[in-house]
Amino acid sequence: MERLDDLNKIISQYKDSPGQLIRILQKAQELYGYLPEDILGYIADKVGLPLSEVAGVVTFYSLFTTKPKGKHTISVCLGTACYVKGAPEVLEAIKKELAADMDQTTTDGLFTLTNTRCVGACGLAPAVLIDGEVHGRVKASDVPELIRQYRQRDQEGATTTEADTGIDTVTGKADRLKNHLPPTQAEPIIRPVLSPQRLEQIRHSYAARYIQRMHPDQVPDWVFQKADDALAAEPAAKLYRHQILVCAGTGCTSSRSVEIQSALRRELLARGLDGEIAVVHTGCFGFCELGPILVVHPERVFYCQVTPNDVPEIVERHIVQGQTMDRLLYKHPPEGASRNTIDENEFFHPQIRVALRNCGIIDPENINEYIASGGYFGLAKALTAMKPTEVIETITRSGLRGRGGAGFLTGRKWAYTAAVKETVKYVVCNADEGDPGAFMDRSILEGDPHAVLEAMTIAGYAIGAQQGFVYVRAEYPIAVHRLEVAIEQARRAGLLGKNILGTGFSFDIEIRLGAGAFVCGEETALLNSVSGKRGEPRTRPPYPAISGLWGKPTLLNNVETYANIPQIICKGADWYAAMGTSGSKGTKIFSLAGKINNTGLIEVPMGTSLRTIIYGIGGGIPKGKAFKAVQTGGPSGGCLPAEYLDIPIDYDSLMKIGSMMGSGGLIVMDETDCMVDIARFYLEFTQDESCGKCTPCRIGTRRLLEIITRITEGKGTMKDLDLLEELGHDIKEASLCGLGQTAPNPVLSTLRHFRHEYEAHIKEKRCPAGVCAALKPKGKYRIDGEKCRRCGLCVKVCPVQAISGEIRKTLFAIDAKLCIACGACAQKCPVHVIAQEGER
Amino acid sequence: MKIDLKRPIIPEMPPLTSAEVHTRSRSSHFFGPKKVRLEIDGRPVEIEAGKTVLDAAREVGITIPSLCYLREINEIGACRVCLVEIEGQRSLQAACVYPVAEGLKVYTNTPRVRKARKRVVELILSDHSRECTSCIRNLNCELQNIADNLGIRRIEVQGEAHQIPVQENNPSIRHDPNKCIHCRRCENICAKVQENCVIAAQNRGFDTIIAPAFSRDMGDVDCIMCGQCVLSCPVGALTEKECIDDVWKALADPEVHVVVQTAPSIQVTLGEAFGLPVGTKVTGKMVAALRRLGFNQVLATDFAADLTIVEEAYEFLHRFQAGQLPFFTSCCPAWIKLVEHHYPQFIPNLSTCKSPMSMFGALTRYTYHQERNLPKEKVVSVAVMPCTAKKYEAARLEHGYDGRPDVDYVLTTRELVRMIREAGIEFSELPDEPFDSAFREVTGAGTIFGATGGVMEATLRTTSWVLLGNGTGQNDKVQPAPIEFREVRGEKGLKLLHVNLGEYDIRVAVAHGTGNARRVLEAIQAGERIDFVEVMACPGGCVGGGGQPILGGRDHKKVSLDYRHDRADALYDIDSHKNLRYSHENPVVQLLYREILGHPGSELAHRLLHTEGYQERVK
């Protein structure tokens, strides 16, 4: 009954706001653990929707379940980075350990096993989530211990103690996260910003603190002057002796950066240093491979792979004694020389950060720090000094193209939406970053959420909209939390809502959560999902610019695109257009993952070569392995071999060689990766994520997958290769939306560049990389002596007389030298005690 | 006690625009008659803005194949069979949803287009239960037709196909998901036209299934069994539940006397299935065919329609006097089920009259065997109906007499077609034969029951005759009663009007399609005064019934839904040529009251011809 009361509260809270069915379902699932059919009937009744539609929504999104779950949900990340780093083996180990298959619950009701698509913890690959806690860098051999600890915890009835598995752990759920987060500093004081002048004042009073974190070269002199003035006027804005910045992005949070912050505060407090040393949690530095990351300002010393145990030593040696701790410094591969400061670090110094400019520098949960970094000045400029047409002009001239994948000219999209004469329009931010292996949008939302809010407000002004929606994946709890905080702070500051900056312009933003459907990254599917429906795309035209959300003109851009906007407005179109190549202006964020030393997030000018990224910033391939391919553009992109390492990457050059920019995922593969298997992996992903609306994608991708699976199992024919090519081509031609139109790309590009690997699988029944299980060299057979029944049936079927033993008298044994691994004995054995080596 | 039947006259009805499901406005409404010029396969076309490339191609005599497209009901471009090349577009585009635009250049027959279309159809076939020769839709299947037109000779990409148990719990509709091609026509006709939303897409991707919530059986949900999904299904995924075998069995039994009745609309639709033009009246051939199939007595339900009108008109007048309004017709079993499920508060407003089919059945049970001296249990009653829901109605306990259902077997028009074919009867060569003598007399009022507005019009004829003083013997007061009430006819989804009969003002509503029916009920709930409501659950009324012929085979450019109008015209034509056009003038009806029933609403009439009311249904 109590739960029903709660459910009623949830329903009445959301039911009058349009399209909130998904939110209601999410809350109901939190309440009940799953979505029982009768509860769905109740919800359908209350919100006035047909049950068939509600059930259709529930069964569309993979985060919803109508079956009760076990006490713990184990979710294995099967994103690309995790996949190439051994997630399949981990999954197998978990299946064995639980004796449960995918989407099954163990008989004792303790564990439910599921998989998840990229949670953006690529730096910690392979990642396993248990009840939302991310366990990073899990090895198959860790699995029994990991599960044992959960079992044990339950038996002891202890619910609070953390399992100390030696594996990096942290809570991932937003609510629990709040409990885990120590108060960074006192809640920021939010003052209403009613005019551009007031914005300027706030900037000045926080500037001193902000510039301490900047490289002196990056800060104009006048800012120093203003900061000095403000310091004189307002001693509260004092400078700290040191500011210790701790990464609080998903990656580092997973490796206990929260504990590091707490430990730092405790340590400083204990030594009475808390007044002069500030601990600030920031967004992602991008160097996820080496998390948790900690930077000490003003000397800009970069420490990595810090643990809570290192804290006393850091405080003692660095803060008190003023020495740098060599042990925690970055060592650049392969020679391993230490790099003291962030500026000397090869991972950082080739980067030019525009969209990521504030990540790792400001506290994302403090609007004042954003303002101090120049935040909301773009909005102020647009609202007070520019006409909407001038804003659009500027964006168009900057040459900014959509960072979501297709690369449409952003300014032109704005102009189309602005041109429609309608009083109600919407601005939507696509934060449904679904490409496995891409996590730049998550990072921006976690590290600099106000940049997105500011850009959306500018867009609202430019096109004539008053309402915005951010559609964000529910798999990104920290990003959702930061967005919520940012929206709340912006509203309190008057930077969202009515009469912004006293200009008479009004704009507000709401969050809508995704529920686990990759296709919702497609714009028309996203709009359906925002309005609470199944995320099925629809045909275009009409484009969302004409008829989008609830039939109204709607502007859609992704997070990274928006993150560039305030800077372009502030610094001008020419500044932005000066970066990049002729067709692709500005900078692009790439997420580097897979077989690369420095997994992480980088931002470089368009036109940077893959070689610079992989071997310079990325530090090359680990363990001295040879580079084989780099996959760009996620499931829609393609795999490029070494011969393309030197082409400057931008939208057009990638298109030309059969791949695409996509959202900027770069997954590096080495000689131990099988390209046929990689293509199969991507196809499995897209066909699983196909919405099922149009024929070519619903059935076609399934057929493609069946053919390629056949090949990886050694059952393919050369004709299958032609069929793959033909069918892939037809699916691209005939599909309704971008998902289907690009789904065959990984197959087509690997066929183009790695055809020999396909042929080896077919003609020689051999997987050159030794990945495809069915084609692995066959191990010899062995009899588990203890369990042998001494029946002797195996002896009779062995074609090479490799088995010896006396019926009913002795245990039987196989002579490995003679065994030809035909498997006849194993098939015959009535008690199944004969197995191939390598099997359990 | 004399009750004042006068009611205040409300001059203007507020418009209920949203209810007009069938208005053909499209965007031409907004753009006016603006035309655009485009080029299709090099030929210039001029067409109204707002139309699609598919429409434009038809203008130049090109039929672009399509499966999922259903005008104004399902325009989703999902099946991808209608792909065309459009200059300037990177990928191929779905012609059915691509709006025409000035200067557009379209190519409908290039190697690229043909290859893609073929591949799409091949993929559909690879996940389609291809038991064509034993499929109910064999030779009448849109997929089969397109596969043939496109010259599909082999399925190159074979693979896993769905194997989902066929759902058979619904007494009227059989659902075989393995034949479903995911065109979503059923889903959208159920949602947008009928607004019942019984079936919708469940799950995602390859696992998507068009089914009730949680993929439940269609018999376990609040389906009203109207069968519009069956009519709109291009293949054999949704079909009626056949009872042909049972009927053959009864016909073959020499001990059994089989009586068949045919609903008014059958005579104007049956011919279509045998290649006759839509709207051809085949009353005589139909009777001849039924006789050749071996039915002992072939009778017209139209007679019972007359009887229904008399009972219903008197029930209405009674309630009108007592102020127990609004009053709802009850001929349509799907409509009744809708009220039971979703508007139980209106159950008391439903007429207690059985439908003509059930009245006919009850009378058969009561008198027929006596007259012929047959053992009661040896009379089998069969009805040929345009309707899937009638199968369900026949099985309802409320419709029964002496513990036996009023009607034993209900055949849809389509099932009758199959029986005629199976028997090898050359339909077009049949002579015209009259119905058998019992209950042979029918009036035009009974005939128009088959079209939307027909029941209303027939009732108004008799009601006005009474209210205008006819039959009182006081001839000085008599005004001639009108015959035709043309305002209640036609395609408009919802008609609200007031009928002035002398000193009485009656406000009536006629709705077809349950979406429109919902609008009427909502209006009443909102306080609208409506006295008398006619609802037929199927758009167009019974002529558009879920049991009517589906013309999905070769050479049919339209779907069954497009034929309602012509079929209705044929019924009105029959009516206009009748001498007797008031139900109460039917001499057999009059005889029946004189000899057996006494008077309308008598105790026996209630026992035989009325139900005891309906109950709320949860499922």
Quickly state the pLDDT bin for A171 (edges 50, 70, 90). Answer: very low
Does A756 have pLDDT greater than 90?
Answer: yes
Task: Identify which of A541, A699, A733 has the shortest CB distance to residue B91.
Answer: A733
pLDDT, mean of residues A305-328: 92
| Host H or E run for residue A670 | strand A665-670
Alpha-carbon radius of gyration of chain A: 28
* Tokens linked to B147: 């596969």
CB A636, CB A685: distance < 8 Å: no
Largest pairwise CA distance in chain B: 83
CA separation for the pair A20, A54 (Å, rounded)? 12
Please give the residue that has the higher pLDDT: either B17 or A17: A17
pLDDT > 90 fraction of chain A, expressed in percent and rounded: 57
Q: What is the pLDDT of residue B515?
A: 95
- C-alpha distance from residue A403 to each of A45, A399, A561, A606 (Å): 41, 12, 5, 12
* Residues B402, B404, B406: CA angle, nearest 5 degrees: 100
User: A332 touching B, CB under 8 A?
Assistant: no
Does A77 have pLDDT greater than 50?
Answer: yes
Span of A14-28, A809-823, B167-181, B468-482 with lowest mean pLDDT: B468-482
Does A185 have pLDDT greater than 90?
Answer: no
- Which tens digits make up the pLDDT trace of A259-289? 999 999 999 999 988 888 989 989 988 888 8
Quickly state the pLDDT bin for B140 (edges 50, 70, 90). Answer: very high
Q: Would you tell me which residues 641-660 of chain A have a C-beta closer than 8 angstroms to some C-beta of chain B?
A: none
Quickly state the pLDDT bin for B472 (edges 50, 70, 90). Answer: low
| Active-site residue flag, B179 | no
User: A696 touching B, CB under 8 A?
Assistant: yes
Does B318 have pLDDT greater than 50?
Answer: yes
Residues of A in contact with B76 (CB under 8 A): 538-539, 693
| Host H or E run for residue A733 | helix A718-734
Q: What is the pLDDT of residue B478?
A: 61
pLDDT, mean of residues A680-691: 94
Does A785 have pLDDT greater than 80?
Answer: no
pLDDT, mean of residues A576-585: 94
CB B533, CB B557: distance < 8 Å: no
CA separation for the pair A634, A558 (Å, rounded)? 16
CA separation for the pair B275, B245 (Å, rounded)? 25
pLDDT, mean of residues A103-125: 85
Does A219 have pLDDT greater than 90?
Answer: no
Interface predicted TM-score (ipTM) of this complex, two decimals: 0.91
Q: What is the pLDDT of residue A837?
A: 72
Residue B476 burial (CB < 10 Å; 0-12/13-18/19+)?
exposed
Q: What is the pLDDT of residue A231?
A: 64
Q: What is the pLDDT of residue B614?
A: 84
Check A702 against B160: CB less than 8 A apart. Answer: yes
- Cβ-based neighbour number of residue A152 at 10 Å: 11
pLDDT, mean of residues A140-144: 89
Span of A7-16, A143-152, A153-162, B299-308 with lowest mean pLDDT: A153-162
Q: What is the pLDDT of residue B618?
A: 67
Q: Which residues pair with A641 in a beta bridge?
A: A629
Quickly state the pLDDT bin for A227 (edges 50, 70, 90). Answer: low
Quickly state the pLDDT bin for A186 (edges 50, 70, 90). Answer: low
Identify the CA nearest to A120 among candidates A252, A317, A318, A274: A252
Task: Identify which of B78, B160, B201 has the shortest CB distance to residue A736.
Answer: B78
Does A493 have pLDDT greater than 80?
Answer: yes
- Which tens digits make up the pLDDT trace of B330-360? 999 999 999 999 999 999 999 999 999 999 9
Check A695 against B203: CB less than 8 A apart. Answer: no
Check A727 against B157: CB less than 8 A apart. Answer: yes
- Which tens digits make up the pLDDT trace of B534-550? 999 999 999 999 999 99
Does A176 have pLDDT greater than 80?
Answer: no
Where is mean pLDDT largest: A80-89, A801-810, B123-132?
Answer: B123-132
- Which tens digits make up the pLDDT trace of B20-70? 333 333 444 444 568 999 999 999 999 999 899 999 999 899 999 999 999
Q: What is the mean pLDDT of chain A?
A: 88
Does A180 have pLDDT greater than 60?
Answer: no
- Which tens digits make up the pLDDT trace of A694-750? 999 999 999 999 999 999 999 999 999 999 999 999 999 999 999 999 999 999 999
Task: Identify which of B78, B115, B204 has the shortest CB distance to residue A60.
Answer: B204
Q: Would you tell me which residues 181-210 of chain B have a C-beta closer than 8 angstroms to some C-beta of chain A?
A: 181-182, 191, 196-208
| DSSP calls for A736-797 | SSHHHHHTTHHHHHHHHH-HHHHHHHHHS---TTS--GGGSPPPPEEE-GGG-----HHHHH
Q: What is the pLDDT of residue A16?
A: 84
Q: Which long-range contacts (CB under 8 A, 24 or more apart) does A37-45 make?
A: A37/A66, A37/B213, A37/B214, A39/A7, A40/A66, A40/B213, A42/A7, A43/A7, A43/A11
Nearest C-alpha in A relative to B188: A53
Q: What is the pLDDT of residue B21?
A: 34
Q: What is the pLDDT of residue B503?
A: 81
Span of B222-226, B467-471, B590-594 with lowest mean pLDDT: B467-471
Check A696 against B120: CB less than 8 A apart. Answer: yes
Q: What is the pLDDT of residue B226?
A: 96
What number of CA atoms fall less than 13 Å from residue A431's CA on the CB side? 33
Does A220 have pLDDT greater than 70?
Answer: no
DSSP state of B38: E
pLDDT, mean of residues A457-477: 95
Q: What is the pLDDT of residue A182?
A: 44
Per-residue b or e along B587-605, where b marks 16 or more CB atoms closer than 10 Å to that residue's CB: ebbeebbeeebeebbeeeb
Span of A560-569, B106-115, B392-401 with lowest mean pLDDT: B392-401
Task: Identify which of A60, A693, A741 has the shortest CB distance to residue B78.
Answer: A693
Does B108 have pLDDT greater than 90?
Answer: yes
Check B80 against A695: CB less than 8 A apart. Answer: yes
Nearest C-alpha in B relative to A692: B205
Q: Of residues B390, B391, B492, B495, which has the active-site annotation?
A: B390
Does B19 have pLDDT greater than 80?
Answer: no
Check B78 against A541: CB less than 8 A apart. Answer: no
* Tokens linked to B278: 């839509």
CB B78, CB B210: distance < 8 Å: no
| Beta carbons within 8 Å of B29's beta carbon, 6+ residues apart | none
- C-alpha distance from residue A726 to each of A656, A679, A719, A744, B80 (Å): 20, 16, 11, 10, 17
| Active-site residue flag, B390 | yes
pLDDT, mean of residues A645-662: 88
Does B619 have pLDDT greater than 60?
Answer: no
Quickly state the pLDDT bin for A255 (edges 50, 70, 90). Answer: confident
| Active-site residue flag, B351 | yes
User: B116 touching A, CB under 8 A?
Assistant: yes
Q: What is the pLDDT of residue A312?
A: 93
- Cβ-based neighbour number of residue A649 at 10 Å: 28
Question: Residue A116: phi, psi to the nearest 5?
Answer: -140, 150
Where is mean pLDDT largest: A93-97, A325-329, A395-399?
Answer: A395-399
Quickly state the pLDDT bin for A800 (edges 50, 70, 90). Answer: confident
- Which tens digits make up the pLDDT trace of B241-257? 999 999 999 999 999 99
pLDDT, mean of residues B254-262: 95
CA separation for the pair A32, A37 (Å, rounded)? 12
Please give the residue that has the higher pLDDT: either A37 or B22: A37
Does B212 have pLDDT greater than 70?
Answer: yes
Quickly state the pLDDT bin for A670 (edges 50, 70, 90). Answer: very high
Q: What is the pLDDT of residue B9?
A: 27
End-to-end CA distance of chain B: 43
Q: What is the pLDDT of residue B31?
A: 46
- Which tens digits make up the pLDDT trace of A530-546? 999 999 999 999 999 99
